[in-house]
Every structure is written in C-alpha cells, then in structure tokens.
C-alpha cells in the first residue's frame, strides 16, 4: 500500500474524482448547463414545444437570464476587437463591464477563443472550477507538510463543497473563492523559499478573484488571505518577509482597479446602495444540513420546503466535518494554524447564521456586505472545515492507534449522538406536518449510513491497528467514502443536458437576428432574449442598473416618485402613461406569444382600435407587431423647461400638457432660446454600444434628445467639439445643438475605467519594484 505515499497518487486521485464528475460531458456529449430547463420554461423556446419533458434542476434561472447571455455578449464583442463597456440591450442602456457579474476581465475568458462552440467552451469554464479548487487545496495542504492522503481528503472536501457545487453553473461565485487555497500555497512557499516568484503569483490571485464576477465573494477571499498573511506576520520569525507579502497583496488590489472602480461607480448610481436589508441569514435550525445537506429537501427532487438551498449550503462532507471537529478540539493548542482556521470557521459561521455578530454587520450598514445575502460567507466555513479535516486526519489515525477501548467508545458515542440528534428531529415530529418529517427521515438515511461506516471502519482499524495493510485500507476506505458522498452530492445537483437545447433557433429568434435595429422591443423576456440576440429592451433583471431609470419606470406604474425595484425593471403594460412612455422610448416592436393573448402580463395591443400596430411577423407560436407611432431613438425638440425637483420633473414629463416630441424637461438651463415650432430632422447614422453617430438639421438652436440612459462616462461631440450632456426627461440624454446641420457623436469613455487602467499599471510596476527591492536591497537572494 505504498501507493498512498507516491507523490503522483494525489494528482491521480483528484483527477479521477473530477473525471467521474465530468463524465457526462466527456463521454456523453452533454453540457453542464440547464438547457432542458431553458427549453421547457423560458420564452420563446417554451412556446414552440421544443422540449416538454422532465427537467433536473429549476433552481438556477439566473444562468439562463443573466450569466450566459452576458458572457456571450462579452466574448462576441471582444472577438470584434472592442471592449464591451456598455450594454444597450437592457434597461434602456446600462454599464456592462461595471456590472460585476459580467466578469469581462476574467483571464479564463481566453477559453472562449478555443476552436469549439460557445456551449462547449462554456462547459470547459464551468467544469474547471472543482479541478482548480482541488489542485489548489492539494498544493496548499502539502505545503503545510500534511500527508498525501490528508491533503486528498481536504481537496475533495473543498472542491465539491456546498458553495462551489450550488453556484458552479454560474461560473462566477465559485471562481471568486476557489483560488484561495492556491493563494495560501504561494504565501507558504514564499515564506519557505524566500523566492519572489511566489509573492508575485500570490499578488496575481487577488485580481483573478476580483475579476471572477462576484464582488461579495471576492471580499471574503481578500479578507481570508489578508488575515492569513497577518497571522503569519504575528507568528513567524521572518516578519519582514510577511510584511512584504502584505505589500504584494495591496499591489494585487491595484491591478484589479479596471474592474473595481467602474463597479463602485455603478453601485453608487444604483438602487442597491440604498437597500440595507438583513437578507439571506441562515437560521440556527438549519445546522442539521451541515451533516445532511438534504435534511430540508432538495430543489432537484422538488421537495425542499425551508430556506434557500443554494444560498445556505455549507456542506463539506459529513466525515470531514467530524474530522474538523476532532482537530479543533484536540489539536488547537498544538498547531497555531489550526487555531487560525478554527477562528476563521467560527467567524464565518457567526456571520452567516442568525447571531448577534450577524446583526452587528447589518446595523453597521457596510457597503456590499450589508446589502447582499449574508449567508454566502458560509463558503469560508466550508473551506475551513476542509482544511481542519485535513489537519485532523493523520492525528486521528495516530489517536486510534494509541487509543484505549474507552477512548474509542467515547469517539463512537459522540458520532452516534450526532446521528441520534439528527433523527430525533423528524422522529419527534418537530418539523411540523408528516410530509416534512418524512422528507428529513428519507434524506437522513445516506448521511447516517456514511457516519455508521466511518464508525465501523474506525472500529475495525482499532482492532487490527498493528497491520500496515489495515491502516492503508482504512485510509483508502475513508477517501473513497468521502469522495462517494461528495460526488453523489454534486451529481444530484448539477444538470448535464443536451447541447442542442442551448439557445436553439426558433422562428421568432431568427426574426430578431434578421431585424437588427436601434429601435426597441417590448416582450416577456429579459437578457436571455434581449442581450443574447442583441435587441434593445426597456426591461432588465439585475441588482445593478441606473437608479433613476428604475424610478422613471416606477412612476409610470403609480404616478409618483418612489424607490426603484431592487433587481427588476418591468415595463407597465396597461398603465395610464404606458402608451406615452413606450412611444417616447422608441418601442417599435411588440414581441407577442400567441398563447398570452388576453393575459395581464402581456402588452394589450388588441385593445387599441386603430391601425397603429402592424403585424410584421407571424408563425405558429409568435407574432411581432410594429408600433407605427414610436418616436425615433434620437429626435430634436425646440421647447424645454428646467425643473430641478425630481418629483415635479416626473410630474411634468407625464403631464397631459407635455408633448415629449416637442418639449424636453431638463435639470439645467442649456442657455438657448426656446422655440415651440421648429423644422428639424435627425437620423442615427451608426449605433454601436459605446459609440453613436447622429446627423441632425434644425432651423434654430434646439435640443437633441437620445432616449438612452444618462450615465457618467458618456461624452458628446458636436461637429468635433465636446459639449455637455444634459440629463433630459429625468433619466436620458440631451445635448444643445446649433441651428443648421450638425454631426453629433456620443462616446462612452468612463474615467472610472481609464483611472482603473492607470492604477493597474501602477500595481504591476509596483510588483516589479518590490521584487527588485526584495532581491537586491534585502539580500534574500535571486530566484
């Protein structure tokens, strides 16, 4: 059994476990994307009956309605040699790079330049997550001088822990944290070898995490990494090296500024900044799920009834949790690193669960952390459990070798007490009705069997502990059981579906692609139609979008200024001012699913008696109508009124006395004469996401109105000269143009991104400078 000590055994074991998980992709041609869910439940595909069978997991709609379309838009634009800083297809225009989840700058986007289909490249991006997590954890634990089998245990526990598994399909949240063990590995290697290449590599993991697509999770990455470096600064003798690591760490943050600064700008211009809510807090009664993840059911089996399975999932394996508890109780005084990870586990637990510490973060109103789901810090708990389990595996083996029968019985009794406590909840019917208790009982069987197997195998090991073969068999058995447990966990959750159902062509989607225009569409869809097919929409689904636009749309609903919705903009289909608003916003096309006729969520074009709506496309499932009264997206007005009060401005915009085709409501006086009757014409010559060219001609000084969102970073040039963009009609753009012919160019060139690039260059140069200082001035030697 010396194979366990072979240095290649760990790599082979991790790779084999990953291949078992990835088997459907490599050997069946399936993709880790919920394509059957898409075809079954989302328009337009659901209307065509493309697929009407069962689906595995309906708990990841955001992959379809946000993440995948955004990634497609990012890669398509990058392949054209442009940077997609702006997204004109949602919310009447919104930042794209600044929307953190776009992950535009993530280095692994290079995968999409491989010569495969987008769906295949997406699959590679998704499937690499547990492999990178496992390899990183393996390297870190080995750098802590742990045995090969202990390192494997920790690696398997982390690579298939609850957070990585339930967010895997997003290819953002998990990537934001899974480089943490690799960063800690580089820290250990730097302090061990004095070689600056490890400090440089550690600093690069920081922007990689920050570019991954989820700022909140990246903050947890940064906090854990900095805490580890600071802990080493306090405990190691070579404090100067640890201090240098801190400097490299901050250089890494500088390198990430091209993403961070635009995102901060968007955050401060969105409703998200103002919504402080204690959301996503895990109740203490959810603790049983740390031992049995499906204790309260599972969305895959449609029997979950309590909580949020993905948000609250801290599972890292039943046996690793037992081993982590053992190392925390028995070894914390013997190894300061165990004390660190025990403290990290405790801190993250107290923040994720409903505790006074969690409440303190809420009342402190910390940006990002106090406006997002608190439970997501549970990933640091799972990570710490995996590390502590690895630290505890060998000591547990040695403990059993030296243990008396009494100590063995104590360990076994404690595990049995955990099993009994778990079973007591449904047995005593503490969950309420019979069905809930039955679900818990059913889903306790396998975790209980795993814990029984752990106790039984430990007992056998105790009896035959003098046999080296038995020791090796025990180690292998534990690794196999843990792998089986976590592979079963991930295989149950993660869908692998046919590639042909990933955004399959339909009649109406072909119409979208053949009818590219700057005019907008209105229909029952978000990014899965608008962004993917590049058709401009009034609506959108995301927590970050221009706040004033949300207030503008909300006013149409209720006739007064109120805060915008948190994450969704839905255009009112039948409000008093609906017609005025969609004409003003240039909605030229109504996309209508036939089966939605007469439904309250569909735009009621049938209630308009005149001929304003012209049928331009029809098939067995869909119709598309053209709105003949829609304004052009850019038009010229001669009259205006200045109103600085938000409430009064909105009131005047939607007043019966205001014709938005001839009059603009401004916040600032443009210093031109008013003229209610002008002769003018305008035409959009070119419309690209970050650059719009317009030609206009007017017989007097006027205001050119463009019904795209006003937002910092947009610049206007009239006949080559930069002019101020006026916030017009509450949320849109206007610019004063002179009498005669004018060429107007709008360019999105945000200072936040430019300054971010400058800081990134400074960060890279600082890394090089620190390396030179470290090597030559302090005499630590060369690489």
pLDDT beneath 50, residues of the chain: 1, 276, 781-783
Give ∠ CA 726-729-734 in degrees, rounded to 5. 30
Cβ-contact 748, 691 below 8 angstroms? yes
Q: What pLDDT sits at residue 209? A: 98
Q: What is the pLDDT of residues 26-81, one digit of tens each?
A: 999 999 999 999 999 999 999 999 999 999 999 999 999 999 999 999 999 999 99
Between CA 694 and CA 649 the distance in angstroms is: 27
Q: What pLDDT sits at residue 783? A: 44
Between CA 245 and CA 187 the distance in angstroms is: 8
Residue 562 CA to its chain's centroid (Å): 28
Between CA 251 and CA 242 the distance in angstroms is: 14
Q: What is the pLDDT of residues 92-107, one digit of tens each?
A: 999 999 999 999 999 9
Residue 654 CA to its chain's centroid (Å): 37
Between CA 78 and CA 60 the distance in angstroms is: 26
Domain ranges of the chain: 2-31+97-498, 511-627, 634-749
Provide the angle, in degrees to the nearest 10, between the axes of the packed helices 118-143 and 148-159.
140
pTM: 0.94
Between CA 528 and CA 205 the distance in angstroms is: 31
Q: What pLDDT sits at residue 677? A: 84
Q: Give me the residue label for tokens 């291949």.
A: 19
DSSP 595: G
């Amino acid at each position: 059994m010396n194979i366990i000590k072979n240095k290649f055994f760990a790599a082979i074991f991790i790779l084999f476990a990953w291949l078992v998980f990835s088997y459907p992709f490599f050997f069946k041609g399936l993709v880790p994307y919920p394509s059957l869910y898409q075809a079954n439940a989302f328009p337009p595909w659901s209307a065509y009956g493309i697929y009407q069978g069962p689906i595995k997991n309906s708990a990841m709609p955001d992959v379809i309605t946000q993440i995948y379309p955004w990634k497609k838009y990012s890669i398509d634009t990058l392949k054209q040699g442009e940077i997609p800083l702006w997204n004109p297809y949602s919310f009447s225009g919104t930042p794209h790079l600044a929307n953190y989840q776009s992950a535009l700058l993530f280095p692994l986007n290079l995968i999409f330049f491989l010569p495969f289909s987008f769906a295949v490249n997406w699959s590679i991006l998704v499937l690499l997550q547990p492999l990178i997590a496992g390899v990183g954890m393996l390297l870190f634990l080995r750098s802590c001088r742990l045995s090969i089998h202990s390192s494997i245990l920790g690696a398997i526990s982390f690579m298939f822990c609850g957070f990585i598994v339930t967010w895997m399909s997003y290819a953002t949240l998990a990537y934001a944290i899974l480089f943490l063990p690799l960063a800690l590995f580089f820290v250990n290697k730097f302090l061990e070898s004095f070689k600056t290449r490890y400090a440089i590599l550690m600093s690069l993991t920081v922007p990689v995490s920050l570019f991954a697509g989820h700022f909140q999770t990246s903050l947890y990455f940064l906090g854990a990494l900095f805490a580890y470096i600071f802990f080493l600064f306090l405990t190691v003798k070579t404090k100067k090296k640890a201090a240098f690591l801190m400097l490299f760490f901050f250089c890494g943050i500088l390198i990430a500024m091209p993403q961070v600064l635009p995102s901060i700008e968007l955050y401060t211009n969105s409703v998200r900044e103002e919504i402080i809510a204690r959301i996503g807090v895990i109740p203490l009664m959810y603790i049983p799920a740390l031992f049995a993840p499906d204790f309260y059911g599972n969305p895959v089996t449609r029997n979950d009834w309590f909580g949020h399975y993905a948000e609250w999932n801290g599972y890292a394996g039943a046996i690793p949790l037992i081993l982590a508890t053992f190392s925390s109780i028995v070894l914390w005084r013997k190894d300061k690193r165990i004390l660190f990870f025990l403290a990290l586990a405790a801190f993250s637990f107290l923040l994720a669960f409903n505790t006074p510490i969690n409440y303190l973060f809420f009342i402190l109103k910390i940006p990002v952390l106090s406006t997002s789901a608190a439970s997501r810090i549970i990933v640091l708990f799972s990570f710490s459990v995996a590390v502590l389990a690895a630290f505890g595996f060998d000591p547990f083996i040695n403990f059993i070798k030296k243990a008396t029968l009494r100590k063995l019985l104590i360990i076994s009794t404690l595990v049995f007490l955990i099993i009994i406590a778990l079973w007591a909840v449904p047995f005593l019917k503490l969950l309420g009705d019979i069905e809930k208790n039955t679900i818990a009982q059913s889903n306790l069987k396998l975790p209980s069997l795993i814990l029984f197997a752990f106790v039984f195998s430990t007992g056998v090991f105790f009896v035959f502990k003098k046999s080296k073969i038995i020791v090796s068999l025990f180690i292998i058995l534990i690794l196999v059981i843990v792998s089986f447990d976590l592979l079963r966990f991930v295989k149950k959750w993660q869908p692998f579906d046919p590639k042909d159902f990933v955004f399959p062509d339909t009649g109406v989607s072909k119409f979208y692609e053949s009818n590219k225009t700057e005019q907008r569409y209105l229909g029952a869809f978000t990014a899965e139609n608008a962004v993917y097919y590049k058709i401009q929409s009034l609506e959108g689904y995301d927590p970050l979008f221009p706040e004033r636009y949300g207030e503008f749309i909300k006013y149409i609903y209720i006739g007064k200024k109120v805060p915008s919705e948190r994450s969704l903009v839905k255009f009112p289909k039948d409000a008093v001012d609906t017609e005025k608003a969609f004409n003003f916003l240039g909605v030229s096309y109504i996309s209508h699913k036939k089966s939605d006729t007469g439904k309250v969520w569909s735009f009621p074009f049938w209630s308009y008696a005149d001929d304003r709506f012209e049928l331009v496309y029809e098939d067995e499932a869909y119709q598309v109508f053209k709105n003949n009264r829609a304004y052009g997206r850019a038009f010229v007005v001669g009259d205006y009124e200045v109103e600085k009060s938000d409430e009064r401005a909105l009131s005047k915009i939607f007043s019966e006395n205001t014709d938005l085709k001839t009059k603009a409501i401004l916040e600032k006086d443009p210093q031109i004469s008013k003229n209610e009757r002008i002769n003018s014409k305008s035409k959009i010559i070119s419309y690209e996401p970050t650059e719009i060219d317009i030609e206009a001609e007017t017989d007097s000084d006027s205001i050119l109105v463009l019904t795209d969102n006003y937002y910092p970073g947009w610049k206007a040039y009239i006949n080559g000269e930069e002019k101020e963009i006026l916030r017009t009609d509450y949320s849109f753009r206007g610019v004063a143009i002179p009498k005669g012919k004018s060429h107007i160019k709008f360019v999105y060139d945000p200072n936040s991104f430019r300054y971010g690039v400058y800081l990134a260059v400074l960060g890279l140069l600082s890394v090089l400078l620190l390396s030179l200082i470290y090597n030559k001035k302090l005499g630590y030697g060369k690489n």
